[in-house]
Amino acid sequence: MNNHGVFNKSSNIYVLIISMLGCSLFLLLGDFQLTYSSYEWTIILSLTIVNVLCKHFTILIPPKGNALAMDSTIYLVSIFIFGLNFSLTLLLMSSVIVAIYQVKTAWWKHLFNFSSFTLMIIAGYYVYIATGGEVGAVGFPYMHSYVLAMIVYMLLNIFVIGMFFWFISNDPLLQIVKVFLKESIFSYFSILILSLILGILLLHQPIIGLILFTAVILMLSLAFKQHFKLYEEASKKANRDDLTGLYNHGYFKETFETIMKTQEMKRLSLAMIDIDDFKKYNDCHGHLQGDELLKHFGRLLKEGCSPYNYTYARYGGEEFVILMPEKDAFEAYQFLNGLRKKINDSYFKGVEVLPHGCLSFSGGIVTHEGERYDTSELLDRADQALYHAKAQGKNNVHLYDENDVYQKSLNEEKNIELLEQQVRIFLSKDVYTYKHSKRVFRYAVNFAQKLRLSEREGKVLILGALIHDIGKIEISRDILNKKGKLDPDEWEIMKKHVTWGKDIISTNKALSELVPLVELHHERYDGKGYPHGLQGESIPKLARILCIIDSFDAMTTERPYQATKSYEEAIQELRKCSGQQFDPQFVEPFIEMIEEKYPFEKVV
């Protein structure tokens, strides 16, 4: 018996009850004697040896690797030919030898197995006698007794073992019994036939019969072991992706559907991830090098998932999936975002040509908390979250949320689409400014809701947040993408982006309300900002709000191979500069919004 679950108090009590019941019946109904004849002792010892060999040389059965031990053949034939006392004596001797042989197995498991077999032998024997069976006879008139004895023996075995698994798992008992019955019924009929053949041999040619029977068992065991090995190799090939060695799409779908059917009410998170800009890598370095990148990514994914009970697979192309049983949204986000950062910092030849300058992926997560969804719905939601992560400039992880205010704003505002087209220019020039604009926009949506701004003010803040850095389009790539600090001349050029942004926005009258936000979001509350050095409430209210949002994101902007401020550190900086750089009336509400809306980013 294997330990497939976590033991609990109920399972321990159950094991104790079965053990006490089996041992008590063994002592009560067994009539032991040492007066067997030499011939009978020879048979007992021979059957004991064969029984122990059956325990060792089991017959492996695909597809799940179950093992069929033929010891029940010995016990059934013993019931039919030699009766109850002989069978219990055989059980005792076999159990003692097996306990010595398998000394590393816990003692209570030996006791539980001994007690279970005692119950099965006693029940099988009395059914055999009660239905007209005759000890020492093998013939067609007793066929119904053989079958009924075998059925009771089998059902008792399934019930005793099934109850144990029921206690250590949350699966329904009926479901466990059905699975055991389905897997055992044909095996037990084979055992019955073999026991009748052995019975005939024992009655007419006992020594030769035992030798032939043992040889058949050994040959069957070796043949099935070889067959099972071939099956495992073929199965492994069929379930694996040739390139990365991970599980393939077919295996993942099958596993996912099985989990959803058998663990419908349990928690589970699904992540769908996609390597960013893989096509660009292929175009620059060729498909062979692209294959090497996929292998490398597969190794990193395996390395990251291996410590956990996750199922991970190549879903197709550069897409991968991870199933995380028993993980809630926070745990799944924490894991996937941590994996993303590790992969960002792991160099692979040629990744410097990619927009982020490193190997990266975008990930979408959906969490199943017992709701009744099918696999297609969950995959579709994970895919939507993945699409959303990519739309934010890639190298992101996004949790699916059907009530996401930000997501709704993206879908509903046509003006946002128009500005989004302009901001997208940064994708080819400076991906970090693009992602910064999208994050500031996201913060602005939630902060406008937190401050309960009027509809007009909220709209101006949100649109201004998206477009506030548009003037950086005029700045050269060398300055925008420079690693390290800017020199004084470069810094003066960078500061001009607010003026250039104002000029760009001013050409469209429909966007005239956004001009103050674009031009003045770097003004400081204490008057030390630029471009005009305005102070206090002479700075427009929405520009003061945008200054806080913009600065917070700038402090927490993540770049590969570089350290950045955590959310906690950035919040401390906001408080430190409240009344100096930032308008103090908006600092604490902003911090509250961050703590309410972005707890994952705050902790991770």
The DSSP secondary structure of 220-251, one letter per residue, reads HHHHHHHHHHHHHHHHHHHHB-TTT-SB-HHH
Amino acid identity for residue 31 in this structure: D
The reply to whether 212 and 298 lie within a common domain is: no
CA atoms within 13 A on the CB side of 387: 9
- Report yes or no: 338 and 315 within 8 Å, Cβ to Cβ: no
Q: Which residues, listed in sequence order, are joined to residue 269 by a DSSP beta bridge?
A: 324, 367
* Mean pLDDT score, 210-219: 85
Other Cβ atoms within 10 Å of 300 Cβ, number: 17
- Count structural domains, the chain: 3
**CA-closest candidate to residue 327, choices 249, 259, 250:** 259
* Mean pLDDT score, 7-24: 84
Note whether residue 499 is domain-resident.
yes
Check whether 440 has a pLDDT greater than 90: yes
- Rama region for 245: left / alpha / beta (φ>0; ψ in -120 to 50; rest): left
As a whole number of angstroms, the distance between CA 344 and CA 322 comes to: 18
Residues 69, 73, 75, 80: what is their CA dihedral angle, to the nearest 10 degrees? 170
- Report yes or no: 117 and 236 within 8 Å, Cβ to Cβ: no
The pLDDT of residue 571: 93
**CA-closest candidate to residue 97, choices 71, 130, 134:** 71
Note whether residue 518 is domain-resident.
yes
- Report yes or no: 574 and 582 within 8 Å, Cβ to Cβ: yes
Check whether 2 has a pLDDT greater than 50: no
**Tokens 């004895």, located at residue:** 149
Last residue of a domain, one of 411, 436, 463: 411
The reply to whether 396 and 445 lie within a common domain is: no
As a whole number of angstroms, the distance between CA 509 and CA 88 comes to: 98
* Mean pLDDT score, 63-85: 81
As a whole number of angstroms, the distance between CA 51 and CA 72 comes to: 9
* Mean pLDDT score, 401-421: 62
As a whole number of angstroms, the distance between CA 574 and CA 506 comes to: 31
**CA-closest candidate to residue 423, choices 415, 413, 433:** 433
Note whether residue 3 is domain-resident.
no
**Tokens 């007066």, located at residue:** 35
Is this prediction's pTM over 0.85?
no
The pLDDT of residue 4: 42
- Pairing status of strand 267-275 against strand 66-68: unpaired
What is the domain extent for residue 347? Answer: 249-411
* H or E element, residue 85: helix 84-101
Last residue of a domain, one of 212, 237, 262: 237
- Report yes or no: 540 and 532 within 8 Å, Cβ to Cβ: no
The pLDDT of residue 61: 62
- Edge to edge, the sheet with strand 361-369 lists 311-316, 319-325, 267-275, 361-369, 397-399
Note whether residue 316 is domain-resident.
yes
Share of the chain above pLDDT 70, in %: 90
The reply to whether 362 and 481 lie within a common domain is: no
The reply to whether 401 and 544 lie within a common domain is: no
- Among the residue ranges 124-128, 280-284, 514-518, 594-598, the one predicted with the least confidence is 594-598
> pLDDT tens digits for 500-551?
999 988 888 778 889 999 999 999 999 999 999 999 999 999 999 999 999 9
As a whole number of angstroms, the distance between CA 207 and CA 211 comes to: 6
Residues 6+ apart with CB under 8 A from 8: 167, 168
**Tokens 């008057």, located at residue:** 527
Note whether residue 602 is domain-resident.
no
The reply to whether 275 and 365 lie within a common domain is: yes
As a whole number of angstroms, the distance between CA 363 and CA 340 comes to: 9
Who has greater pLDDT, 184 or 461? 461
CA atoms within 13 A on the CB side of 599: 4
Q: In whole angstroms, what separates CA 393 from the centre of its chain?
A: 26
Give me the CATH number covering residue 400.
3.30.70.270
- Pairing status of strand 361-369 against strand 397-399: parallel
DSSP state of 486: P
- Report yes or no: 297 and 359 within 8 Å, Cβ to Cβ: yes
The pLDDT of residue 408: 55
The DSSP secondary structure of 266-289, one letter per residue, reads SEEEEEEEEETTHHHHHHHH-HHH
> pLDDT tens digits for 344-353?
988 899 998 8
The reply to whether 406 and 428 lie within a common domain is: no
**CA-closest candidate to residue 145, choices 103, 84, 196:** 196
Check whether 438 has a pLDDT greater than 50: yes
The pLDDT of residue 51: 84
Note whether residue 416 is domain-resident.
no
The reply to whether 344 and 369 lie within a common domain is: yes
The reply to whether 395 and 449 lie within a common domain is: no
As a whole number of angstroms, the distance between CA 70 and CA 420 comes to: 71
**Tokens 């002592």, located at residue:** 27
> pLDDT tens digits for 229-246?
887 777 777 788 989 999
> pLDDT tens digits for 257-300?
888 876 655 788 999 999 999 999 999 999 999 999 999 999 99
Note whether residue 13 is domain-resident.
yes
Residue 66 main-chain phi, psi, to 5 deg: -65, 155
- Among the residue ranges 4-13, 180-189, 395-404, 584-593, the one predicted with the least confidence is 4-13
- Report yes or no: 277 and 329 within 8 Å, Cβ to Cβ: no
Check whether 334 has a pLDDT greater than 60: yes
What are the b/e assignments for 425-457, b being 16+ CB within 10 Å? ebeebbbbbbbbbbbbbbbbbbbbebbebeeeb
Give me the CATH number covering residue 502.
1.10.3210.10
Last residue of a domain, one of 237, 258, 286: 237
As a whole number of angstroms, the distance between CA 36 and CA 334 comes to: 69
Q: Where are the alpha helices (DSSP H) in 396-540?
A: 405-412, 414-423, 425-429, 431-451, 455-467, 477-480, 488-495, 497-506, 515-520
Amino acid identity for residue 213 in this structure: F
Check whether 604 has a pLDDT greater than 50: no
Residues 6+ apart with CB under 8 A from 58: 67, 68, 69, 70, 221
As a whole number of angstroms, the distance between CA 172 and CA 180 comes to: 13
DSSP state of 397: E
> pLDDT tens digits for 466-496?
899 999 988 888 888 777 778 888 899 999 9
Taking the CA atoms of 505, 507, 511 and 514 in sequence, report the sign of the dihedral they define: positive
The reply to whether 222 and 262 lie within a common domain is: no
Amino acid identity for residue 353 in this structure: V
3-state SS, residue 148: helix
Query: Average per-residue pLDDT in the chain?
Result: 85
Other Cβ atoms within 10 Å of 125 Cβ, number: 26
The reply to whether 380 and 341 lie within a common domain is: yes
The reply to whether 231 and 266 lie within a common domain is: no
Note whether residue 603 is domain-resident.
no
As a whole number of angstroms, the distance between CA 252 and CA 275 comes to: 19
Taking the CA atoms of 327, 329, 330 and 334 in sequence, report the sign of the dihedral they define: positive
> pLDDT tens digits for 129-140?
999 999 988 888
The reply to whether 81 and 183 lie within a common domain is: yes
Check whether 12 has a pLDDT greater than 80: yes
Structure-block tokens of residue 216: 């058949």
Check whether 5 has a pLDDT greater than 50: no
